[in-house]
Each structure stands twice: as structure tokens, then as C-alpha cells.
Chains A and B, each alone.
Chain A
Amino acid sequence: MNALLLAALLCSGLDFGGTVAGVYPVGSLNRHHGSSALLGAAAGWTTGAFRFELGYGYASLPGRQSTPYRLSFHLPRAGVGWSPVRQPGWGLEVGANTGYAFGRRTFGSGVEQGNAALAELGLIFVQPSGRSRLSVGFWYSNLIENGTGTGVVLSPMLSLRAGVAYVP
């Protein structure tokens, strides 16, 4: 009985769905890379003004030239959001994520792989409606690497991220 109650409580704030985004490399990454779409999925749990999310995204940035160069990365992430503004039918959320980037560069016969930590900050417009939850957010992401001699290096990106989730 208690387990059922707990399950019901947990499921009450649960949602899961897909995300799509436009990713724009800024800073140093902007030198050789153009923008790209990011596709992903996310599952969230809302309690009060807070929302916890697990998500995943994949993007493949093209080179700035007409060559077969690509910089692709998988981005698993976990994050938390807080809603300072909650109105009937809409709300604003401030989000912060952390995660990992698994990257791969390919150009001709060349392949390189590497990882980086991920830190993100976002401002999201949310519109819950019935069993769906729509969101559109502006995110500032940083890929963080730490190398010998180079120290901590940040590679920033901006993204406009939209999501639709099913609320059971």
C-alpha cells in the first residue's frame, strides 16, 4: 500500500518527451564550425517549484567549409530547474545542467575522439497543457576540458531548445 502510494506520488510529477534544438558554437568553436540541430530526449520530475531532469542530446556540427568535416557529440546530462514565475497555463523556469560530452571529429580518413564535462544554464518558457508540457528555452552551454599545459579550457555554445513531454 505504502509502495503504491509512493509510486503514485512519484509518478504524479513525472514527464518524458523529446527535445530539438538549434546549436550555435560561439567562442573558439565558432572558428571552424557552423550551427546544427540537436536531437534528444528528456525525463523530468516536478515537485513544487523545482523540476529535476535527466536528458540526452546528440548534435553533429559541420565545418565552415564545403568539406566532409564533422564534430559530433553525445550529451547525457542531469539538471535542476526552478520556477520563479508560475501562472495558470504558463511559467518561467531557470535551469542548470551538468553532464558529459562524448565527442568525435572526422575529416577524410582522420578520426579523433575525446570527452569533456558539460555545464549549462538556461531560461525556459514552460506551457503545461493537459497531459503535455511544452517548453522553449535559451541555453548557454560550456564544454569543459582540463589539459596539461593548457589548464581548464571552456568551449561555449548557445542553443535554442524546444521540448514536448507527455505527463502521465
Chain B
Amino acid sequence: MDSSELYHIKQQFTLGAFRALVRQPLPDKSSPDYVSTLLYKARSYIALNQAKSALELIPEDAEDIALKAVSALARFVDSTKSSDAETSLEELRDLSVEIEGDDVDCTEKEKALVRVLAGTAFARAGEIEEALETLGSDSEDLEAVALIVQIYLSINRPDLAKKQFDRSKRWAEDDLLLQLIESTIGLVTGKDNYANTNSFYTEQLGNPSLSSPHLLTARGITRILRGEIQEAKSDLEESLVQQKGESEAEAAYVVAVGLGASKKPESEDLWAKFVSEHGSHPLVQDITQKSEMFDQYAANYVVPPQITLSA
């Protein structure tokens, strides 16, 4: 059983309250929670795409295998050159192999964490198969399950995701993360009009012990999916008030505005702004790609001559 502080941190991490999490001070070094808190904090930095801050947080000479894995992940996320990325990936591969050995001195929890971190990096690198292999299909670690489920969902296999979820339901006592997993599956399958997802996020928004704009964003997106554009907009606006310029909320807001009954120029302006500010967001990249495709396909059609009137 985790201590109350650690539980809270875990809850924040699970629900995406990364900004609040990194703002919290670390406990005393002698505290039994120190390393766990440090790990969560570093992972939150990584989730916020501030891998450098994560690296600063982790002591260079960390012996702890989980810490090593986190710093490897941080370096991977931070790397701009493919060779650097490959080095970090190699490091994570080594760590995953290392924990399989008999003589390693670490707990099951740490092992699971290393797998999760390695799996995250592999998934980011597009090595789906490797990620799944590392995580293992019979994992009894919910974080691993969450990862596996999301990977399955990303390759359009909600059926497998569902199966993985059903499997973990047997041993994971209605954990918050389990509920999140269920809600994520609902997000993709759209079962019962996204009812589960919507109620999950609504319930968590009402949770007195935590607040995270990420939840608002998530509910906003759910509402977009449910076709409640006005409500979605208000959620997203609220989320953006709480964290200005957050790319996910901005992206969703652009979509919501595009779907709403608002004027076209407004949506286009927002889009232009979004493209300039968050050029690396998958939505932008996707659209750029589509735009190229458009030109390519449009070129297949011969445009007949304009009428020229000899006036």
C-alpha cells in the first residue's frame, strides 16, 4: 500500500496532472517515497516534453535501475539526432534484458516500470512489435496494460485492447488506472455513445482531491466525439484558461471550432495560429501530408481550358 502522498502523486500522474505534479517539491531524501516521487516527477517532465528538466532531476550516477531507465527515456525523448535516439533505445533494450536475469537486485515493481518505460520508448519509435514484446501480454502491471491497450488501439485493434482490459479486470481491483483504460477503449470504440468515457471524466472532474486541465481537455474531446460541440468548446476554453497554449487542448479546440457553426475565417485563423505554434503536433503533420497528397491526386485531373471570350 502506497503512502497517501505517493498515492496522490500516482493519481495525478494517471490523470495527466503533470504540471501540478512537477510543481510539487520532492520529499526528503531519506523518505521511503523519495525515489518513487522522483520517478513520477521525472516522468511527468517527460510527458510535458521537458525531458531536459527530467534529466536535471535525476542524479548522473543513479544506481537504481528504474532511474536509469527514466533517464534513458528522457534522453530518447530529448534526442534530435537519430543516432542519439538509437543509443538511448539500445540502453533501454539492455535494461530490459538485464531485469530478466536472475541476479538483478530489484523489485518486481521496478522491473515492471523498466518495461513500461522501455515500451513507451519503443512505441514512440514506432517499434510496435518490440514494445508489445517487452511489455508482455500477461503482465500484471496496470501501467503496462495501459500501454498495451493504447498500442492496440493505435493499430485499430480495439478487440485486443478489450480483451487485455477484461483480463486485467480480474486482478486489478477497480483501480483508477483501470477505469482510465476502460474509458480509453470507449473513446475509440464509441460504445454506448461514449457514455463510459464521458462519465469517467465527468466523475474525475468532480473529484475533490485533484484537478487537472487535462481532464477538461479529455472531456472536451469526448464531447466533440459525442457531437456536443458547444459543451466541448466550453470545456476546452476552460482548459486553455488553466494552461495556456497546451497543444492537445488547442488542437481539440481547433477541431471544435471547425465543427461549430462559427464563421469560417475564425476557424482558419485558429488553425494558422495552431500550425505556427505547434508545428510538431501530429494533427499538423497529418494535414501537411494530406495537403501534399491532395496536390498529387489533383494533378491526375486535366483542367480544361477557361473560356476565352473574344469580346
Do chains A and B interact in one complex?
no
B residues neighboring A (CB under 8 Å): none
A residues neighboring B (CB under 8 Å): none
